[in-house]
Structure 1
Amino acid sequence: MKAIDIMTKDVITVEMDTRLPDVKLLMQQHQFHHLPVVDKGQLIGVISDRDLLRLVSPFIGKVNEQARDLDTLNRAAHQAMTRQPITVKADTDIKEAINWMLKTGISCVPVVDDEHYVIGIITWRDLIAHAKYD
């Protein structure tokens, strides 16, 4: 089985200057945990819900909110993303993608073409959905 066989093909991406509140809203609306970050269409990183939790102040909207808490919302996707993510090609054997995920502790692998444009994404949910049990 190849990456193209199980990848999600209609990938929503964000530009590198997309602000974190917009990233968070996209993730909530679509129930995503990962968003590829692109510059002129080419993959430059991945931002996850864990990245947002780590960077956005938990005091936003609370009584003890301060200006520095709101400043965390002014960050752009490129300031929160994982740079140079591990990627695979459409014809990569799915076992290789799984090995990368297990070896590095990541939970998604973008699928890119030769010019590094995103053509799909594989997440652990995709793997579970396509698992075969004997």
Structure 2
Amino acid sequence: MDLKLDIRISKIMTTRIVTIEMDDRLTVAKEIFDNAPFHHLLVIEHDKLQGILSERDYLRTLSPNIGNINETERDSETLQRRAHQVMTRNPITISPNQTIRQASELLLKHDIGSLPVLDKGKLTGIITWKDLLTAFVAKR
């Protein structure tokens, strides 16, 4: 058995997380996705995780005419939707004490790209499939 599969999530998770509020408009998400290397935004309310908004979910919601010559007022109104209208509720999460094997199994089982990391209910990070691949191929 490869010992790399026993690496704890806390060793490789990203602790620099970006959160948005449930009632934030998609214009806020657009600003973050356009200017930061993040593909998943954690949606909170009263400092508690409520959902996750992936860049893929965000793009699926927008009109394809946003930003081009065919854009209409109706198209631009799609950016006024709220995060809670688009996010995935009750996201699958993981504890920092779990292993990259367990994280990999969750990602595959649920066909998702990231897992918020909760430590005793407190949001402490996020782990993505890229983090797992990076940890797996990293030299010891």
| TM-score using structure 2 length | 0.88
> For the residues of structure 1 that align with 2:116 and 2:134, how far apart are their CA atoms?
17
Residue 23 of structure 1 pairs with residue 29 of structure 2: yes
Matches within 5 A, 1:33-112: 33-112=39-118
RMSD: 1.5
Query: Does the aligned pair in 2 maintain the 1:11–1:118 contact within 8 Å?
Result: no
Question: Any unmatched runs of 5+ in structure 2?
Answer: 1-6
Where does structure 1 differ by over 4 angstroms across 4 or more consecutive aligned residues?
none
Contact 1:44 1:84 in 2 (8 A): yes
In structure 2, which of residues 115, 120, 124 is the aligned counterpart of residue 114 of structure 1?
A: 120
Pairs aligned (count): 133
Unmatched 5+ stretches in structure 1: none
Query: Residue 11 of structure 1: which of 17, 28, 39 is its match?
Result: 17
Q: Which amino acid aligns with 1:85?
A: P
TM-score w.r.t. the length of structure 1 is 0.92
Residues 132, 66 of structure 1: alpha-carbon distance in 2 compared, 3 angstrom cutoff: closer
Percent identity among equivalent residues?
43
Distance 1:132 1:62 in 2: 41
Q: Is the partner of 1:131 in helix, strand or coil?
A: helix
SS at match of 2:137: coil
1:120 is matched by which residue type in structure 2? G
C-alpha change, 1:96 and 1:63, in structure 2 (3 Å) is same
Superposed CA offset, 1:57-99 (max 9, x none): 1112323222221210111111110010000111112211110
1:133 Cα deviation (Å)?
A: 6.8
